[in-house]
């Protein structure tokens, strides 16, 4: 199926845009153009309806073109389109900060706004270092991430991140070391959390022995790895990381850019897995993806450490922030997004329907020998596929493209197909998505 005839774009226009996270050469030969989106469906340049099997990029759990968000954004643009920092503020940022804390575990109640997940991670890591410096422990500068982790595209994010392809071109980053990932052999096809594998947290002790806690600022992990293909932590793993961090005076950061605000059938990954970190980073679902926005949320003691700085009141407690921090249009979208999640009871819906989703996803087991693992939690799933001629990414790429042609958007990444349907997905949509995926996988087996 060729798509190029259906776009009016010139080759010069196609060439002018260096596209993010896209094989540009392939795309520009056969552009798949999205022209509109509403509810659970995109419309493509051929006028076809395409089910959004990843809720945007894990962003649009409420689906697309949500009336309450559209209205909030339209009103905000007309009322206050931008608001500066440097001792000025606008009300919606404070309202949204409070609203966000209602989704956070108790004690995480100080919200710093950013423009993206990458900036949220940068903020968390900078604050972690500055916090220790404020406490007279300025040698605590190293970070511990995890293999297969994704923490955004900034220099700090790729440093703590553990996806080799995202690091290899870029040379030296921050000083960071990586725990082993939690995709433990023998736990394939586990539903939800695996019963075994929590011992992988013990590696943190080896790292502390190697680097000494006096040099380590923070451990950062996604409670459930998203971009590497929905890697769910084994039971007890996050609890053990928490214990070790507490014993050694190391901050624990959960990167919840994907897991916050409902995806897990819980308010956050922290709530789903019952572990409270010191800092949570977030983005995506906070505005339902409509306007870029992120945030890092801190436990109060971290915030207070900066506020107890002494000196004149007008002095900055931390010289950090972005031109688009707490952008009023993003705040308006954020309030509408989070209020909709609450008023429609969507977290409860995801929780209730997760077992149904789980059954559909795991029904693919055995559909093809190419399927090597299936993982799921909440409304998320990862299906790992065997490499072809030593090439891990090729088959998932082919499957994702064939799914588009069948009328389904799914993401490929590494050796996996990733699924994260909207929170309001009906069972019939789950069923047809999984049927189509089974056919596509068989086609490339």
* Interface positions with ligand PMP (CB under 6 A): 116-118, 121, 150-153, 222, 226-227, 255, 257-258, 283
CB of 281 to ligand PMP, least distance (A): 7
Instruction: Identify whether the C-beta of residue 305 lies closer than 8 Å to the C-beta of residue 110.
Output: no
CB of 329 to ligand PMP, least distance (A): 17
Residue 105 or 229: the one with the smaller Cβ distance to ligand PMP is 229
Residue 44 or 119: the one with the smaller Cβ distance to ligand PMP is 119
Residue 150 or 324: the one with the smaller Cβ distance to ligand PMP is 150
In the complex, residue closest to ligand PMP by CB: 117
CB of 428 to ligand PMP, least distance (A): 28
Per DSSP (E only), the strands in 117-185 are 142-146, 176-179
Q: Which of 350, 290, 261, 227 is nearest to 63 (CA)?
A: 290
Residue 208 or 421: the one with the smaller Cβ distance to ligand PMP is 421
CB of 20 to ligand PMP, least distance (A): 9
Q: Which of 63, 112, 92 is nearest to 298 (CA)?
A: 112
CB of 21 to ligand PMP, least distance (A): 9
Residue 105 or 117: the one with the smaller Cβ distance to ligand PMP is 117
Residue 129 or 148: the one with the smaller Cβ distance to ligand PMP is 148
Q: How far apart are CA 212 and CA 205, in angstroms?
A: 10
CB of 149 to ligand PMP, least distance (A): 8
Residue 68 or 153: the one with the smaller Cβ distance to ligand PMP is 153
Radius of gyration of the chain (CA): 22
| 3 state SS of 186 | coil
Q: Which of 160, 283, 142 is nearest to 221 (CA)?
A: 160
CB of 315 to ligand PMP, least distance (A): 30
- For residues 110-142, b (16+ Cβ closer than 10 Å) or e, as one string? bbbbbbbbbbbbbbbbbbbbbbbebeeeeebbb
Task: List the strands of the sheet with 371-377, edge to edge.
Answer: 371-377, 380-385, 416-419, 411-413
Which residues are 34's β-sheet partners? Answer: 44
């Amino acid at each position: 199926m060729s798509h190029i005839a259906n776009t009016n774009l010139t080759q010069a226009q196609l060439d002018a845009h260096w596209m993010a996270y896209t094989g540009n050469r392939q795309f520009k030969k056969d552009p798949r153009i999205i022209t509109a989106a509403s509810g659970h469906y995109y419309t493509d340049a051929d006028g076809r309806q395409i089910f959004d099997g990843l809720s945007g990029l894990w962003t649009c759990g409420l689906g697309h073109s949500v009336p309450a968000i559209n209205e909030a954004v339209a009103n905000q643009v007309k009322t206050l389109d931008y608001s500066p920092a440097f001792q000025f503020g606008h009300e919606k940022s404070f309202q949204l900060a409070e609203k966000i804390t209602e989704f956070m575990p108790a004690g995480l109640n100080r919200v710093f706004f950013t423009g993206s997940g990458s900036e949220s991670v940068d903020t968390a890591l900078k604050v972690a270092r500055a916090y220790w410096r404020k406490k007279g422990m300025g040698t605590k500068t190293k970070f511990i991430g995890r293999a297969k982790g994704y923490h955004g595209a900034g220099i700090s994010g790729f440093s703590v991140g553990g996806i080799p392809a995202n690091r290899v071109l870029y040379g030296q980053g921050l000083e960071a070391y990586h725990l082993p990932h939690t995709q433990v052999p023998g736990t394939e096809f586990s539903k939800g959390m695996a019963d075994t594998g929590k011992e992988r947290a013990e590696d943190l002790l080896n790292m502390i022995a190697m680097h000494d806690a006096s040099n380590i600022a923070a451990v950062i992990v996604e409670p459930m790895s998203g971009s590497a293909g929905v890697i769910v932590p084994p039971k007890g793993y996050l609890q053990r990381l928490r214990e070790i961090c507490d014993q050694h005076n190391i901050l624990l950061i959960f990167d919840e850019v994907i897991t916050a605000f409902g995806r897990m059938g819980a308010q956050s990954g922290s709530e789903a897995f019952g572990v409270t970190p010191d800092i949570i980073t977030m983005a995506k679902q906070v505005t339902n993806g409509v306007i870029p926005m992120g945030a890092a949320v801190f436990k109060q003691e971290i915030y207070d450490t900066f506020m107890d700085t002494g000196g004149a009141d007008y002095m900055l407690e931390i010289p950090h922030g972005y031109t688009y921090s707490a952008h009023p249009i993003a705040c308006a979208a954020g309030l509408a997004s989070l209020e909709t999640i609450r008023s429609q009871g969507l977290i409860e819906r995801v929780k209730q329907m997760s077992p149904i989703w789980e059954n559909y996803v795991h029904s693919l087991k055995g559909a093809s020998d190419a399927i090597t693992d299936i993982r799921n939690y909440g409304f998320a799933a990862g299906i790992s596929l065997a490499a072809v001629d030593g090439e891990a990414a090729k088959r998932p790429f082919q499957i994702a493209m064939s799914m588009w042609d069948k009328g389904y958007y799914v993401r490929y990444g590494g050796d996996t197909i990733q699924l994260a349907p909207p929170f309001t997905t009906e069972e019939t949509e789950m069923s047809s998505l999984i049927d189509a995926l089974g056919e596509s996988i068989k086609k490339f087996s």
